[in-house]
């Protein structure tokens, strides 16, 4: 009995094992199938990823190319040309200045806007870069350059002797021309201000204009070259014409190195255009000798690259260096820019002036603004010594000498 029970038990065990094995086999098969599907899916995903990587790379390359092209276009001077005739897939242009005609093409979005007499800007490789609005009125542009600055001499710090000199040369002949007549000397016509960036040249020119009560025509050399492409010489002519009509007037040529640099004589059409502008400028400067009521102020950061023709005696009566501010001048400039600022009593501007050796006027102004911002960030109602110290560090950086000093002073 017990034996048969065992046999039958064995049978059941075997049977149940067989069942389990077959169930497991089934499961195994299902899992293997699932794995196969997953493998296929993984391969697909991998392929897609690879594709994306490739197209990503393609886009990056395209981006890089466009960036390069963009910066190249921005750097290169542009020239003016007019459409002479055009066909389905070509445009014939005539370049202004040298009257050269040539054939080129343009992307469809530009092509469809072109018609004979359209004015376009082209680059060195004679590609159309943009379309210019029709017959831009140079006159209107000259008018745009007239400014009425409100800067006073009080807002210019630490340049007392330079202010004195420029007043004698520019302001006095405009406001009291009779003095020169009486003594019988020819009034000076112009000054050139030179010095490192941010030392207050533009500021000073504006102050002179304000005090002289003269029409102030402000143009920048780099604008002449880059914005008024192909029209530089014409614009110079018009500016002097306008200055004569609206006299007494001051023509301020900022960044004169952009038109009057010796480096531009490299024989390209771009430099030819810049040189034409420069020649016109020299001609105008020489031509208005008799006129006592139009003055020129020019400014440059780079007197070292200026064309010697501009520096020749007779062109500018005075060449005035605008120096980096001394400690005393720095104090003055800080005072100017913190005049309306609520400061806590322990703020000592003299200390800040001492600690900002090598900083220029623009940086000192930035320090004042930054110190104010620091106070605002702290939600304080006055600017503290620490606000200034942090501002000096932020604007001028951690100068080594300064750090040594600040170990003593700023701790
Ligand atoms: N001597 C200065 N006195 C007061 N502020 C100055 C002085 N120099 C520069 N600044 C400040 O810096 C700004 C930029 O100076 P800016 O006249 O454009 O310098 P530059 O023309 O010499 O490069 C000015 O608008 C002014 O706020
Ligand atoms: Mg300037």
CATH number of the domain at 246, please: 3.40.50.300
Backbone region of residue 134 per phi and psi (left: phi > 0; alpha: psi in -120 to 50; beta: other values):
beta
Phi-psi region of 215 (alpha: psi -120 to 50; beta: other; left: phi over 0): beta
Shared domain for 339 and 316, answered yes or no, is no
From 30, 49, 74, give the residue that closes a domain: 74
Whose atoms come closest to the Cα of 156: which ligand? 1
The answer, yes or no, to whether residue 116 has pLDDT greater than 90, is no
Ligand closest in space to the Cα of 366? 1
Cβ atoms 190, 297 nearer than 8 A: yes
CA atoms within 13 A on the CB side of 407: 5
Q: Is 158 in the pocket of ligand 1 (CB under 6 A)?
A: yes
337-361 average pLDDT score:
95
Q: Are residues 243 and 316 in the same domain?
A: yes
Which residues are found with C-beta within 5 Å of the ion, ligand 2? 201-202
Global confidence as pTM: 0.67
In the three-class reduction of DSSP (H, G, I as helix; E, B as strand; rest coil), residue 106 is classed as coil
> Phi then psi for 235, rounded to 5 degrees?
-65, -40
Residues 109, 180, single domain; the answer is: no
- Residue from 94, 87, 76, 79 nearest 132 by CA: 79
Q: Phi/psi at 215 (nearest 5 deg)?
A: -65, 130
- Give the pLDDT band (50/70/90) at residue 401: low
Q: What is the number of domains present in the chain? A: 4
For ligand 1, mutation pick of 151, 160, 362 (most atoms within 8 Å of CB): 362
Most confidently modeled of 8-17, 229-238, 352-361? 352-361
- Domain final position from 74, 89, 106: 74
* Whether residues 125 and 178 fall in one domain: no
* CA 144 to ligand 1 center in whole angstroms: 23
Q: Based on the fold, state whether residues 1 and 97 are members of the same structural domain.
A: no
Same domain, 299 and 201: yes
Pair 333, 299 in one domain: no
Sign for the pseudo-dihedral over CA of 403, 363, 159, 189: positive
Domain interval for residue 51: 1-74
What ligand has the least distance to the C-alpha of 205? 1
**Is residue 359 in contact with ligand 1, taking CB distance under 6 Å?**
no
Same domain as 259, residue 304: yes
CB of 336 within 6 A of ligand 1: the answer is yes
Domain match, 396 and 291 both: no
- CATH code of the domain covering residue 374: 1.10.8.60
270, 350: one domain: no
Whether the per-residue pLDDT at 1 is higher than 70: the answer is no
Find where tokens 């001499």 sit. 153
Work out the mean pLDDT of the chain and round it to a whole number.
85
Average pLDDT over residues 88-92: 88
Per-residue pLDDT averaged across 97-125, rounded?
Answer: 83
* Partners of residue 17 on adjacent β-strands: none
CA of 156 from ligand 1 middle (Å) equals 8
């Amino acid at each position: 009995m017990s034996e048969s029970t065992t046999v039958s038990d064995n049978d059941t065990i075997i049977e149940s094992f067989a069942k389990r094995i077959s169930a497991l086999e089934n499961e195994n098969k299902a899992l293997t199938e699932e794995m196969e599907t997953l493998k296929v899916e993984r391969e697909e995903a991998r392929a897609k990823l690879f594709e994306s990587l490739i197209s990503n790379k393609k886009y990056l390359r395209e981006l890089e190319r466009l960036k390069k092209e963009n910066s190249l276009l921005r750097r290169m001077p542009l020239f003016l040309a007019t459409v002479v005739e055009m066909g389905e897939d070509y445009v014939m242009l005539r370049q202004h200045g040298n009257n050269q005609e040539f054939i080129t093409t343009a992307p469809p979005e530009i092509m469809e806007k072109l018609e004979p007499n359209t004015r376009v800007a082209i680059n060195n490789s004679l590609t159309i870069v943009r379309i210019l609005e029709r017959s831009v009125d140079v006159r209107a542009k000259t008018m745009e350059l007239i400014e009425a600055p409100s800067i006073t001499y009080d807002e210019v710090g630490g340049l007392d002797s330079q202010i004195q000199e420029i007043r004698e040369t520019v302001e006095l002949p405009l406001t009291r021309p009779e003095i020169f007549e009486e003594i019988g000397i020819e009034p000076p016509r112009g000054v050139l201000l030179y010095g490192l960036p941010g030392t207050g040249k533009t500021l000073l020119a504006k102050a002179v204009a304000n005090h002289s009560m003269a029409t102030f025509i402000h143009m920048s050399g780099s604008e002449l070259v880059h914005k008024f492409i192909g029209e530089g010489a014409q614009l110079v002519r018009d500016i002097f014409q306008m200055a004569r009509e609206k006299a007494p007037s001051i023509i301020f040529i900022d960044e004169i190195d952009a038109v009057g640099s010796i480096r531009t004589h490299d024989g390209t059409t771009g430099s030819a255009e810049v040189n034409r502008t420069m020649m016109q400028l020299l001609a105008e400067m020489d031509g208005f000798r008799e006129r006592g009521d139009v003055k020129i102020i020019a400014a440059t950061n780079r007197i070292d690259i200026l064309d010697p023709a501009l520096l020749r005696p007779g062109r500018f009566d005075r060449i005035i260096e605008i120096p980096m501010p001394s400690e005393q001048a720095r104090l003055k400039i800080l005072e100017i820019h913190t005049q309306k600022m609520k400061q806590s009593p322990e703020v000592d501007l003299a200390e800040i002036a001492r600690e900002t050796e090598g900083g220029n006027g623009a940086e000192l102004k930035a320090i004042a603004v930054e110190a104010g911002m620091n106070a605002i960030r702290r939600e304080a109602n006055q600017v503290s010594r620490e606000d200034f110290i942090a501002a000096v560090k932020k604007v001028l950086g951690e100068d080594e000498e300064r750090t040594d000093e600040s170990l003593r002073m700023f701790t």
